[in-house]
Amino acid sequence: MTNILITGGAGYIGSVLIDQLLRKKYNLTIFDSLLFGGEHLIHYVNNNKFKFIKGDVRDASSLKSVVKKYDIIIHLAAIVGYPACSGNPKLAYDVNFNGTKNILSCKSKNQAIFFASTGSNYGSLDEICTEESPLNPLTTYAKTKTKAEKLVLNSNNFLAYRFATAFGSSSRMRIDLMINDFVFKLLTQKYLVVYEKNFMRTFLHVKDIARSFIHGIENFGKMKNNLYNVGDENLNFSKEEVCRLIHKRISGFIYFSEIGKDLDKRNYKVSYQKIKKTGFKSKYNLDYGIDELVKSISLIDFKNKFTNN
C-alpha cells in the first residue's frame, strides 16, 4: 500500500485531503508545525492509517529522517496568501522557498513529490494564462511560491499544480480567502465594500483541490514531471459577479467602490485544458460553495472576548 506524507497537512487544504485519502485506504502521515492548531484532527487518531508528526519544514535535519520513509510527498506546507506573507516576508521566504528546498534535498529520485503552487504566480495578465504564459508574481506570497516552483520543476519525479483561488468549508477554516471572506462579511456584518469590481479570478472548491491530488496519484505515470493549472473555466468570475451570486442568498449592502485599491492586484483568466485532457474535472460550483459557507459560518462563534457584545 502506498505510503503518503503530507507537509502542512493540518491546514485548510490538508484537512480536507486527509479525509479523502483515508477513504481510499492510503497510509497517511501528517508533518505539520501546528501553527494554526490541530484540534480538528483529533477524530483521526484512532484510524490505524493515520499518523501525525509535529515538525517544521525549515528544519532540514528532522525532515531528513522523516521523508525517506514515504513513496509520495504532498507538499502543502506554506505561509499562504497576501496578508500573511506581507506581514512576515522573512517567514514566508523561509517556509515557502527554503522549506521546499529542504524537502527536495531530502527526497530520493524514486520518491514522488506533489507541489501545491498557485495561479497567483500569473499576477495580472491580459491574455488567457496557460502553463507556458510568462509569470508576473506581484506579492510576497506569489514571489516565494514562484521561486519554490522553479526548484520543483528542475527536480525529478514531480507533479506541480497551479491552483485557482480556493473557496469552501474545511475543518481548518480560512476566512481570508476571497469568496469565504465575502460570505463571512455579508453574513455577519451585513455590508461589504469591494474594490476593483471588474478584476477577474478563477476559483476552485477545496474539495476539488483535494480530488486533484488523488487524480494525480492515480494517474502519476502519465502526468509526472509536468506542471498543470488546476481549476475550471466555468469558475472564472469577476469580483462583482461573485458578489451578485452571494447577494442572492444573503441580504445586506454591497458597495462597489470606485475610489481605493485592493492591495492584492491579481487579475487574470486561466486555461485548464491541459489537466482536463488527463480526465480531471471539477465537481463543485460556486452555488454549492456559497450555500455550504453560509451553513458553516453560522456554526462558528466569532465573539471578540474584549467586548461585551
- The average confidence (pLDDT) of the chain is 92
Angle between helices 60-67 and 99-106 (to 10 degrees): 40
The mean pLDDT value for 20-31 works out to 97
Domain ranges of the chain: 3-167+205-231+271-283
Residue linked to cell 506581514 = 87
What is the pTM for the complete model shown? 0.94
Q: Which CATH number fits domain 3-167+205-231+271-283: 3.30.70.141, 3.20.20.10, 3.40.50.720, 1.10.1660.10?
A: 3.40.50.720
CA gap 55, 34 in Å, rounded = 8
CA gap 26, 199 in Å, rounded = 40
pLDDT at res. 120: 87
Reported as a pLDDT band with limits 50, 70 and 90, residue 146 is very high
Task: Compute φ and ψ for 27, nearest 5 degrees.
Answer: -80, 125
Name the β-bridge partners of 238.
200
pLDDT at res. 304: 60
Percent of the chain with pLDDT strictly greater than 70: 95
Question: Would you say residue 307 has pLDDT above 60?
Answer: no
pLDDT at res. 305: 59
Question: Would you say residue 23 has pLDDT above 80?
Answer: yes
Cα dihedral 80, 83, 89, 93 in deg (nearest 10): 10
Question: Would you say residue 264 has pLDDT above 80?
Answer: no
The pLDDT tens digits of the residues spanning 280-301 come to 999 999 999 999 999 999 898 7
CA gap 101, 67 in Å, rounded = 13
DSSP of 171-215: SS--S-SHHHHHHHHHHHTSEEEEESTT-EEEEEEHHHHHHHHHH
